[in-house]
A = this chain, B = another copy of it.
């Protein structure tokens, strides 16, 4: 037979903080604690609300509210005539009610199987501090003009840019319109707005493409070296074994080698405008061969066109998509030409794959946030984006030339040399064989210099040491000082190795 608890037996409920307010919540919490501490047991009848209120010096309504809350939670049970008691069901796993203090956890507990690989990826992708030579830091001359802010204030005030409900997973139509017009003109992409999917940038485009285009045992070509964002996605979506690393030479990805290695691959992830990280464009002959292979093999090409707008002279190469829109998924981003923290980019996909990409996107994050889409659409419609690109193209050309000059004066050619190029906001500084580029990056970070090692971008056993240096958004004096510190680190690691 369950006993009736007396108020004096429940010390946990003595601790009300009247100044804090919310008294009924405090009473409820105190009763939960009393159960956890076994001051009252499952099955015990509680004091009446009148008695408890009197002994706590609170109104009876306060105690009634607390009891009702706990009844709703299943913690207490009320029965007509018999008062309110602690739910007997709590006995079943009574110990469990006591919260575990964190220190009770075993030091090394079993984590889920995928956790270790994801944790490694987190370390690898940790953002670099915004000092030279981090990529894509839009400050000074390369930051979007004040017009971005003013347009934003206006667009967000009312209309579709203002707070709203769930929206189209494909993105806002005015932005998709603007993007279609932009890529048609600047990149010879052939598309209608309904083939444009607004993404959060290239990374999401790559993730979507890997999900939609590849079944579990499908082979896929990836350049060697390549952006870690693509190899890591393929590893984590079950393609570690079926990813075929195709060598890159002076003309870009070696299509013949790819055909020898995996003739029936279902897709090829490529960076034809500006190979990442090396920088050369894919030659015309290779473009032709790649598309011919894709058509003959019913394969898909994922064209990652992350910075083609930043070709300093002439025009960017026309896209592969423009030559064969049926076999190419074209990915672009505003991270490089506008700013990364915006998180907006796009995928242009064949019309019979639009629904599939839409479905994959909706499961990842429903849809892009509305407001900035409308701001960007307006920014593009008014011609600001094209003006901005023209401006920063010149700035980057200048920054690159200055950086190369600075590095050339600091490091001898047998220790480090720059990969040629005429595009983008980063360059590759090769290091002599034997210099550990990860070590250089690690030591440079301690000196306040941000660089990414190149070797992790290669397949195992083909790695060459090098560094990716971004040159966007830093003043010349700042870059010079950082280059001096970096050169000292490289010399140091070089002589020790």
Give the interface of A toward B (CB within 8 A): 25, 28-29, 32, 65, 68-69, 72-75, 87, 89-90, 92-97, 99-100, 102, 105, 109-123, 125, 127-128, 130, 134-138, 143-144, 148-149, 152-153, 156-157, 162-169, 188, 190, 199-201, 203-204, 207, 211-216, 218, 229, 232-233, 236, 238, 251, 266, 281, 283-289, 291-292, 295, 298, 300, 314-315, 317-318, 322-326, 335, 338-344, 351-353, 355-360, 362-372, 473
Contacts and interface: CB of A to CB of B under 8 A. Distances in A.
Given A72-B314, A121-B362, A213 B166 contact: no
B112 A324 contact: no
Contact of A92 (B127, B218, B285, B364): B285
B211 A338 contact: no
Given A364-B365, A369-B369, A114 B149 contact: no
Contact of A285 (B87, B99, B123, B200): B87
A73 B272 CA distance: 10
B369 A341 contact: yes
A298 B99 CA distance: 16
Contacts of A135: 165-166
Contacts of A289: 92-93, 96
Given A118-B359, A288-B96, A326-B102, A203 B166 contact: no
Contacts of A218: 113
B215 A114 contact: yes
A393 to B, nearest CB: 15
Contacts of A335: 166
Nearest to A300: B112
Contacts of A358: 118-119, 122
Most buried by B among A137, A326, A359: A359
A489 to B, nearest CB: 22
Given A109-B298, A288-B96, A69 B364 contact: no
A96 B369 contact: no
Nearest to A153: B153
A312 to B, nearest CB: 12
A225 B205 CA distance: 32
Q: Closest 8 CB pairs between A and B?
A: A74-B283, A89-B285, A74-B284, A118-B359, A121-B359, A122-B359, A119-B355, A113-B215
Contact of A143 (B156, B163, B199): B163
A121 B366 CA distance: 11
Contacts of A372: 369, 371
A199 to B, nearest CB: 8
B363 A92 contact: no
A291 B355 CA distance: 40
Nearest to A110: B298
A437 to B, nearest CB: 20
Contacts of A143: 163
A336 to B, nearest CB: 11
Contact of A365 (B90, B317, B365): B365
Contacts of A111: 352-353, 356
A8 to B, nearest CB: 25
Contacts of A366: 125, 200-201, 203, 340, 343
Given A138-B164, A283-B74, A289-B93, A362 B130 contact: no
Most buried by B among A95, A97, A137: A97
A358 B119 CA distance: 7
A325 B102 CA distance: 8
B163 A138 contact: yes
A266 B112 contact: yes
Contacts of A120: 359
B112 A69 contact: no
Contacts of A112: 212-215, 266, 300, 353, 356
A72 to B, nearest CB: 6
A149 B153 CA distance: 8
A110 B352 CA distance: 10
A130 B232 CA distance: 39
Given A102-B325, A341-B167, A364-B364, A96 B291 contact: yes
A288 B122 contact: no
A372 B157 CA distance: 14
18 contacts: A32-B318, A65-B314, A74-B251, A74-B284, A90-B284, A95-B292, A100-B326, A109-B326, A111-B352, A112-B212, A116-B356, A121-B360, A130-B165, A166-B335, A203-B363, A207-B363, A236-B363, A369-B369
